Structure 1
Amino acid sequence: MLVLALGAFPVGLLRGVVENRVSAALHTKVAVGSVTRDGVFSYTPVVALRDVRIAQPAWAGQGDFVRVSALRVRVPVLALLTGRFRPDRIAIDGARIALVRDASGRANWEPDGSKPKQGGASRPSLSDLSVTNTQIVLRDAKRQLVVAGPLSVDATHGLRLAAKGSFRDTPATLALTGGRIAGIDPTAPYPFAVKLSSSALDFAAQGTMRGVLDTRHFSATLRAQAPTLKNLDYLIEAGLFGTQPIDLNGTIRHDVRDWYIDRLAGTIGRSRLTARATVHKYGIRTAIDARIHASQFDFDDLADSKGRAEAAARLARIGPRVIPPTRIDLSKLWKTDGTIRFAADHVLSKGGTVFDSLSGTLNLDNRMLTVSDVVATLANGRMTGTIRVDHRSGLPKLAIDMRLAGVTLERLVGKPDMIGGQVRGHIVLSGQGETVREALAHGSGKAAIVATQGHVQRMIADVLGQSLSGAVAHAISGPSETVPLQCLIADFRGSNGVLVPRPLEIDTGSSVGRGTGRIVLDGERIALTLAGTTKSRALLRIADPIQVGGTLSAPSISVAGVGASDKPSAGGVFKVLGRSLGQALGITKIDPSAGGSTPQRFDCQAAVTAALR
């Protein structure tokens, strides 16, 4: 009798149960006009619901979330009674569905904020679906997407949605198509295509779901064009940033909560790249494993027009800088871990760059970012080492440990006719701040370069040795003559953003010099004094030492108040003659603190070892 009663169960009695259960699940008011069934006896009856109204949650505003004139579903009676509601046939007529999501990501179709769980995915069960006279309205404040249009599903044309509206305040159309859902195997591959067209983003994806309307398992090919990568991020919500215009295509797979980027290729501005990646979800955390290769890469492409305008305004306000203003704040990545291996074969920059290529491995672990195995090749030589950012507490803590090898003084100084030779270096700096520039402005550590062979223009060596007689003679008779560069030590030790030479020494074939002063990283200001002596007896000494000032990006050099930013000339040397003669004759008084002590010869090998340690 019980079995027979189930086959003839009066489903109309479930109207109140349906209203209460759906109301509790959606946290809003639900009303059902009537619940009836087709036929007197069936264990899988077709149940008809009429005048169904689901109100919007209070936060979403006035009106209805869902309004349906007629809804017909076929479902086993036992499933109805136990709450395991998985119909295999659905027919909808005269519906209006208003999907709403606010700027924080709260959505009316996910009222409890629940997200798909890893594993345990149920298999699709829907074999027949028809939708007629139905309108879809989407207001997604987080994506800045507002569209509305008709939705239909029939046995002839399959699934069709054609919506119009706006995306990021620009006119947009959204088209969604899918295969027919009529007498099909619900677990068979289901084709789909989606296209969003606007001046802010032109996005198209075409692929296959594992089963009918199984959005948790699918693969697709995609194409995206936009003025900036940030516009694509509004759609896919992957935490991307503003860039120059993009043109990307690729192949992706989605498995419950995990994403697989099997291939991604295209351009960002002038940069050309290929990539592949996996993105796994573990609880609330995200783990990324990616490889990125760029045949050519321009750092300027990683800023959009607004970012470039801000950089230009900053440049006009403070002038050129060597230390970049790159942000190192990791606060928004507290749920992200992973490894990204990157390589750029050719580095570009409109303002010019010393880098030819760049590669390394980026590892992020609970707001600890380590960029290891860094190799930056230059026109000659390369930089290698590690960069670390620790943002687990307080301000980001930056630590840099880089070595320089094979670079030439000609390239470093930019005056090949004045000085030449190979340079080695070691930079170990650390500091706190939200950008690299801010962190190093308060940083401590060392920055050292050394050279143990090369050449120096002889007149430069005379100026360094403060031999006015030698400088005048060589300026007239042999301005291009050179002497050996036997040793150069520039070992700067820093504290709270101030670098002081410990030591700054140079030994040429004809002179020895030593420097004092400081370099202030906050503003990159240079204030150094180079005093020297000739290895042979000078008939007349230059009255004042060499002064190095300006900034790291635009240093200036002067001798006795005469600028020598370019190579010293005979005219410049003669301008110093009067002051030096005045000192020799006791006419001109000299500040005794201006020149410091007379430098002595130094142990080059010991100084090199200490500087590179």
Structure 2
Amino acid sequence: MTIPENLPRIARPPRWHWLLPRIALALLASLAIFVLVLGAFPVGLMRGLVENRLSAALKTHVQVGSITRDGVFSYTPIVSVRDVRIAQPAWAGPGDFVRIGMARVRVPVFALLFGTFRPDRVTVDGARIVLIRDADGRANWKPDGPKARTSESTGPSLSDLTITNTQIVLRDAKRGLMIAGPLTVDATRGLRLSATGTFLDSPATLDLTGGRITGIDPAAPYPFAATLASPALHMTAKGQMNGVLDTRHFTAAIAAQAPTLKNIDRIIEAGLFGTQAVAVTGTIRHDGRDWYVDRIGGSIGRSRFTGMATVHKIDQRTAIDARLHATQLDFDDLADAKGQAVSAQRRATIGPRVLPPTRINLSKLWKTDGTIRFSADHLLSKGGTVFHSLSGTLSLDHKLLSVSNIVATLANGRMTGTARVDHRSGPPKLSVDLRLAGLTLEGLIGQPDIVGGQVRGHIVLSGQGDTVREALSHASGKAAIVATQGHVKRIVADVLGQNLSGAVVHAIGGPSQQVPLRCLVANFSATNGVLVPHPLGIDTGSSVGRGAGRIVLDGERIDVTLAGTSKSRALLRIADPIRIGGTLSAPTVSVAGAGTTDKPTPGALLKVFGRSLGQALGLTKTPPDIPIPPPATFGYERAVATALR
């Protein structure tokens, strides 16, 4: 039969219409076979792979005796690993880092398939773990390479953990902590670690307890408590983790007592310094990489303080935001016995100093930034101090330290201003800009019957050095004080005006008489640690004086001469000017060899009289060190404005 050519043709279905179903069926069959294989995978074949992978990751030899699984088919098999030995890294010496007799782990196969190994049930029996850290901080439990970031979203997964016949050994040379003891985790008592050894060469015990880990919700709060007891430090922490063994997220109440703050720093490693005996309590939180000190308080020596702080880790840097308040503060408490002994030896060698030896080298803080607001209500000092309280704000940014809003109150008046340490390059550079206000001469000198008056001042200095003392010993700038509207004892004014006859008359007839102190200006310009008066002038109701000389901050030596003239006719002038010497901590004053005591000897007074009489008669000539000012005031208003500028 012939088919007509003009009939329509029936279209054939495309090839992919019948090919796709067959491909899908093959894929489903392959997936089913793969899933079945996963459920019955012979894990023993992985022993060599596990050894090689662990050896490469830990950079040491790893040996696994056997790997088996319980049951023929399961997607959450119990995998048993026996006779595991992980050698110590070469730098830690011979021996094993980890030895495990037997470990049983329930492994979620599909989670492992997607790259996460989070077992929920673990049993360990017959293990010994030796943790080693050297003095430089290198630890066998930390990888040598870059630190891997831990996902913040990864929560706890352990619902069951049992550990028996296990020994933990810790040899931490950086902390000075060497302990060993048994670790158990069971359904009855929970987690227990009782270790003994030494801390800083003193006998020590470490007790760590936690809740049971048997049939629990891994994300439920997990309680823990830890105590380190030693003559060098007694420290306790009690709180709860956000989940089982979640050491990255917890809250705890802490308490610590130690002979020095440096011993506590051995444990927390915050870069703290040596102090007198310390006792603190507080509440802390750890959230990922960040720390929160919600409350802290206690004592260091006889200092008492409270505070709070946050410590954030941002990349490789640490950012601190803290508030510290001391009801009383003794700066001597901020040095331990060794530091105080060094200071005492230094004082015995070079004598007492006014400029503090406070270290300002910031080389160890190159990864630290932050702000600390501090205040001290009452300052203490064994030798006494003119300062009553202190407050300010300390800011640190890439080795640039700024102290702003400084307020230091004195017995009368206060000091305000700023200070800065720049250690971004070269030696530390110290700059201070301080103003004095509300002070009185009688308060500073402690002799209200001799002199009194309102004092103001302005200090602007900058220099380089590792300590405040060293930096100011090479500082340049200015240091000025002025006093106005005061009084001075008449006999002192006579001595200033080199009026010997007036001094004798008033010493006999009016020893308590006073005259106005119109103005005192001491404006010192500083160059490389040497202060030169520019000017040094005094105007009283009966005399005018000018000064010359210098103060050398390197050694704090004073060499200043005051020469003056009386505003009234002097029948007999004192031959020599007043000389101020000694040091800033122990200044001396002498007039023509009369000595530096409050009550000159008769011989010294006769010497003054003889030299002055000889000069008056033309028998001796003693040219003054500085020009004697005329018996009239000079432009003190302008001098005061310049000094306080």
Q: What is the distance in 1 between the residues matched to 2:473 and 2:150?
A: 46
Specify the alignment match of 2:514 in structure 1: 482
Specify the alignment match of 2:364 in structure 1: 332
> Does structure 1 conserve the Cα–Cα contact (< 8 Å) formed by 2:451 and 2:488?
yes
Residues 465-491 of structure 1, C-alpha deviations (whole Å, 9 max, x = no match): 011100000111111111100010000
1:358 to 387, 390, 395: 390
1:453 Cα deviation from its structure 2 partner:
1.0
Question: Aligned pair 1:180/2:191, yes or no?
Answer: no
Change (3 A) 1:166 1:489: same
1:596 Cα deviation from its structure 2 partner:
3.1
SS of equivalent to 2:271: coil
Root-mean-square deviation (Å): 1.4
1:218 to 250, 254, 262: 250
Runs of 5+ unmatched residues, structure 1: none
1:120 Cα deviation from its structure 2 partner:
2.8
> Does structure 2 conserve the Cα–Cα contact (< 8 Å) formed by 1:459 and 1:568?
no
Specify the alignment match of 1:562 in structure 2: 594
Q: What is the distance in 1 between the residues matched to 2:315 and 2:63?
A: 36
1:251 Cα deviation from its structure 2 partner:
0.2
**1:561-600 superposed matches below 5 A:** 561-566=593-598, 573-590=605-622, 592-599=623-630
Specify the alignment match of 2:348 in structure 1: 316
1:598 Cα deviation from its structure 2 partner:
3.4
**Paired letter, 1:536:** S
1:35 Cα deviation from its structure 2 partner:
0.4
Residues 484-531 of structure 1, C-alpha deviations (whole Å, 9 max, x = no match): 000100000010100000000000000000000000000000001100
Question: Aligned pair 1:189/2:225, yes or no?
Answer: no
**1:81-230 superposed matches below 5 A:** 83-112=115-144, 114-115=146-147, 117=149, 120-230=152-262
Question: Aligned pair 1:612/2:644, yes or no?
Answer: yes
Q: What is the distance in 1 between the residues matched to 2:601 and 2:346?
A: 36
Question: Aligned pair 1:252/2:280, yes or no?
Answer: no
> Does structure 1 conserve the Cα–Cα contact (< 8 Å) formed by 2:544 and 2:564?
yes
Most deviating of 545-554 and 556-565:
556-565
SS of equivalent to 1:289: strand
1:414 Cα deviation from its structure 2 partner:
2.7
Q: TM-score, normalised by structure 2?
A: 0.93
**Paired letter, 1:154:** D
Change (3 A) 1:581 1:118: farther
**Paired letter, 2:294:** D
**Paired letter, 1:230:** K
Specify the alignment match of 2:4 in structure 1: none
> Does structure 2 conserve the Cα–Cα contact (< 8 Å) formed by 1:469 and 1:538?
yes
> Does structure 2 conserve the Cα–Cα contact (< 8 Å) formed by 1:107 and 1:113?
no
SS of equivalent to 1:563: coil
Question: Aligned pair 1:41/2:73, yes or no?
Answer: yes
Change (3 A) 1:327 1:366: same
Specify the alignment match of 1:493 in structure 2: 525
SS of equivalent to 1:149: strand
1:189 Cα deviation from its structure 2 partner:
0.4
- Greater C-alpha radius of gyration: 2
Change (3 A) 1:113 1:219: farther
**1:142-541 superposed matches below 5 A:** 142-541=174-573
> Does structure 1 conserve the Cα–Cα contact (< 8 Å) formed by 2:442 and 2:453?
yes
1:593 Cα deviation from its structure 2 partner:
4.7
1:111 Cα deviation from its structure 2 partner:
2.1
Q: What is the distance in 1 between the residues matched to 2:268 and 2:546?
A: 59
1:413 Cα deviation from its structure 2 partner:
2.0
**Paired letter, 1:507:** D
Q: What is the distance in 2 between the residues matched to 1:313 and 1:221?
A: 41
Residues 382-413 of structure 1, C-alpha deviations (whole Å, 9 max, x = no match): 00000100000000000010000011101222
1:58 to 90, 104, 123: 90
Most deviating of 318-327 and 405-414:
405-414
Runs of 5+ unmatched residues, structure 2: 1-32
Specify the alignment match of 1:10 in structure 2: 42
Specify the alignment match of 2:3 in structure 1: none
1:555 Cα deviation from its structure 2 partner:
0.5
Residues 221-274 of structure 1, C-alpha deviations (whole Å, 9 max, x = no match): 000000000000000001111001000000000011100000001101111000
Q: TM-score, normalised by structure 1?
A: 0.98
Most deviating of 566-575 and 197-206:
566-575
Most deviating of 114-123 and 558-567:
114-123
1:114 Cα deviation from its structure 2 partner:
4.7
Q: What is the distance in 2 between the residues matched to 1:194 and 1:31?
A: 34
1:287 Cα deviation from its structure 2 partner:
0.3
Q: What is the distance in 2 between the residues matched to 1:180 and 1:193?
A: 13
Q: What is the distance in 2 between the residues matched to 1:114 and 1:520?
A: 52
Q: What is the distance in 1 between the residues matched to 2:120 and 2:135?
A: 35
> Does structure 1 conserve the Cα–Cα contact (< 8 Å) formed by 2:576 and 2:624?
no
> Does structure 2 conserve the Cα–Cα contact (< 8 Å) formed by 1:178 and 1:193?
yes
Q: What is the distance in 2 between the residues matched to 1:403 and 1:574?
A: 44
> Does structure 2 conserve the Cα–Cα contact (< 8 Å) formed by 1:524 and 1:551?
yes
Q: What is the distance in 1 between the residues matched to 2:453 and 2:249?
A: 61
Percent sequence identity over matched residues?
72
Q: What is the distance in 1 between the residues matched to 2:480 and 2:42?
A: 88
1:415 Cα deviation from its structure 2 partner:
2.4
Q: What is the distance in 2 between the residues matched to 1:603 and 1:596?
A: 17
Change (3 A) 1:259 1:336: same
1:21 Cα deviation from its structure 2 partner:
1.4
Q: What is the distance in 2 between the residues matched to 1:428 and 1:116?
A: 49
**Paired letter, 1:201:** L
Change (3 A) 1:604 1:589: closer
> Does structure 2 conserve the Cα–Cα contact (< 8 Å) formed by 1:544 and 1:595?
no
SS of equivalent to 1:452: strand
Q: What is the distance in 1 between the residues matched to 2:490 and 2:596?
A: 15
Q: What is the distance in 1 between the residues matched to 2:51 and 2:148?
A: 25
Residues 560-594 of structure 1, C-alpha deviations (whole Å, 9 max, x = no match): 1112443679886454111111111122232x253
Q: What is the distance in 2 between the residues matched to 1:146 and 1:417?
A: 65
1:121 Cα deviation from its structure 2 partner:
4.0
> Does structure 1 conserve the Cα–Cα contact (< 8 Å) formed by 2:179 and 2:196?
yes
